[in-house]
Structure 1
Amino acid sequence: LDAGITDGLIRLSVGLEHVEDIIEDLRYGLD
């Protein structure tokens, strides 16, 4: 919490992938 990290934050890590796969993963993760 000292670094400003709270429960309301989302960690996003993106590698080399097709943009459609990234969008699909985000939609799945946020549902």
Structure 2
Amino acid sequence: MIHPASTTHQQLTDDEKIAAGVPNDLIRVSVGIEDIDDLLADLDQALTAI
């Protein structure tokens, strides 16, 4: 998981981020080719922990 607004796109202004499709509340989730049930369980576990 990554927060693009504060990492990969941090150099952009808020208007530039919006134009690029990167609002400040966006969280990008990068997943592999695991079974969907495993991915959902991992995501659920992570969200429960926070």
TM-score of the superposed pair, with normalisation by structure 1: 0.59
How many residues get paired?
Answer: 30
Tell me if 1:24 matches 2:41: yes
Runs of 5+ consecutive residues of structure 2 not aligned to the other structure: 1-16
Structure 1 residue 9 displacement after superposition: 4.4
Q: Distance in 1 between matches of 2:26 and 2:46?
A: 14
Greater relative CO, 1 or 2 (CA 8 Å, sep 6+): 2
Task: Find the structure with the greater CA-based Rg.
Answer: 2
Runs of 5+ consecutive residues of structure 1 not aligned to the other structure: none
Once the two structures are aligned, what percentage of the paired residues are identical?
Answer: 39
